[in-house]
Amino acid sequence: MMHPLAIDADNHKVIIVGAGPAGLLLATLLQKRGIQTQVLEASDTLDDQPRACHYGGPGKRELSRAGVLDKISAEGFHPGGVSWRRKDGSSIVALDSSDVPETSLHRMVCLPLGRVIRIIYDEAVSNGCEVLMQHKVTPSIGQTAEGAWVDVVDASSKVQRFHADYVVGCDGANSQIRRALFGDLEFPGRTWDQQIIASNVYYPFEKLGYGDSNFIVDQNNWYMAAKITKDGMWRVTYGDVPGLTKEQYTERLPMRFKEMLPIAPEPSDIKIANVGPYRMHQRLAEKMRVGRFLLAADAAHLCNPFGGLGLVGGIADVGSLYDALVGIDQGLADESILDKYSDIRRQKYKEIVDPMSTSNFRRLWEKDPETTIAEDDFFKILRMANEDEALLSQLREASMSLTHDFTEFYGTRPVKAVLAGA
């Protein structure tokens, strides 16, 4: 098959919509394998909002394959464990990882997403990827047997048509690619009632006896507090009343900290770096492949942030799609591997990401804390793991179940040779 817009007839060109972590990571991986990529981003700047920033095993695996993990690890912070606490700060249960080497996939690395995006962007561009900012994809998209196209409005309001062999929507929760494929209102799932505030602050949580990552169990004042940088910045994610502006939530932050923390801080004790209000969703697109259009990460599925499964699950999508596209490019797989990508990644969401993230969040507030402490099966497992090294090892390995090795679908001979009877 000829690919007139690719570098040559055997090199597939991929357009990636969205210059977030998923889009740029996919571009970097593909570009390093000689597959020409082009990234289209509607915004004029890279995203720097406070979002998920913890990278566990599946995320570290793909960041390593892209050649950016060493830099992220050098700049990042490696949490020494995670704990669940009562509102008074007393420990319910903890999982220590301070003895796990920082180079291990089972030791998390943490770096604010804005910095991670910049590192991946630099790697993508240095490997020849073209990233076009202020290029907004319109609802006008289409495909033929030979390729796909998207119509794009640039900064000068000029409309251009971009062609590729495949188009991947990595354009987030409000994905234009997903909406163009399925309709503006078709994103099955639900929205949580709770209004979430993600804040980056400087405050000495260590003085409260907190570890590096903490989940506070309380029906009214639940929250997550995690150290995310070496210089002492903390991510505090909590609930607040709905319907206010970002400025109003910023003004309310000191009051909410007084209500939440076991020792009420003075406003002058808190240095606010950033505040980002948002609504949480549990949603999954009906397909992650429609012909030559593909979806990955938040464009395909959403979950609440408690446990970091949205970010890491999205990165795992990228790794799977990368292997699938490389298999096609090298003639080791036909396009049916993309249907397997859609089916398997959706299955990972339904069986792992959705139920686990839902449980992680509900555990914090759904019941009276003492009832949860006594009855929650997850807490029981953690207590047993602290006494059983083999179980602890199993828990650490379990995170890798988000990944899938798509090279299992490769043939031993190039597809074209098989079809030719070679």
Q: 272-286: per-residue pLDDT in tens? A: 999 999 999 999 999
Structural domain contains residue 343:
yes
234-275 pLDDT, tens digit each: 999 999 999 999 999 999 999 999 999 999 999 999 999 999
15-25 pLDDT, tens digit each: 999 999 999 99
Please check whether residues 251 and 292 belong to one and the same domain. no
Domain stops at, among 281, 305, 332: 281
| pLDDT for res 49 | 75
Please check whether residues 134 and 230 belong to one and the same domain. no
Please check whether residues 265 and 341 belong to one and the same domain. no
Domain stops at, among 254, 281, 308: 281
Torsion of CA 128, 129, 132, 136, to 10 degrees: 160
Whether the predicted pLDDT of 5 surpasses 60: no
- The angle formed by the CA atoms of residues 57, 20 and 9, to the nearest 5 degrees, is 95
Total structural domains within the chain: 2
| Cβ–Cβ under 8 Å, residues 279 and 309 | no
Please check whether residues 243 and 153 belong to one and the same domain. no
Structural domain contains residue 85:
no
The two three-digit tokens of residue 168, written as one number: 């991947």
| Cβ–Cβ under 8 Å, residues 97 and 81 | yes
334-343 pLDDT, tens digit each: 999 999 999 9
Whether the predicted pLDDT of 115 surpasses 60: yes
Least Cα distance to 358 among 395, 303, 302, 283 occurs for 303
Please check whether residues 176 and 65 belong to one and the same domain. yes
* pTM over 0.75, yes/no: yes
- Band (296; pLDDT cuts 50, 70, 90): very high
Please check whether residues 178 and 29 belong to one and the same domain. yes
Please check whether residues 241 and 102 belong to one and the same domain. no
Torsion of CA 352, 358, 359, 360, to 10 degrees: 100
| pLDDT for res 374 | 96
Please check whether residues 371 and 271 belong to one and the same domain. no
- Band (11; pLDDT cuts 50, 70, 90): very low
* Percent of the chain scoring above 70 in pLDDT: 94
Domain that holds residue 118: 14-79+93-189+282-419
Domain stops at, among 281, 310, 342: 281
